[in-house]
Amino acid sequence: MRKVLEAVGFVALVQGVLGLVQEFTHWHVGLVQRVSFFDGYAAVVSFLLIVLACALFAAADTRRK
């Protein structure tokens, strides 16, 4: 379960960072801007993905024995 949490956290972190990079540099990277539901909220969603990644990493850390 720890590996799954870390893998999902890593994907969320990468997509969040790529979304913020796209928002500030206008490069076409990441998946956040490609989902039309998030149109206009890409920076907020990217920031929330980074927060989610931190929470997933913390949850994975508590699973260690």
- CA-nearest of 48, 55, 65, 60 to 2 is 60
Q: How does pLDDT run across 41-63, given as a tens digit for each residue?
A: 989 999 999 999 999 999 999 87
pTM value? 0.87
pLDDT for residue 39? 84
- 35-43, Cβ contacts within 8 angstroms, sequence gap of 24 or more: 43/19
Q: How does pLDDT run across 25-37, given as a tens digit for each residue?
A: 988 888 887 888 8
pLDDT for residue 17? 95
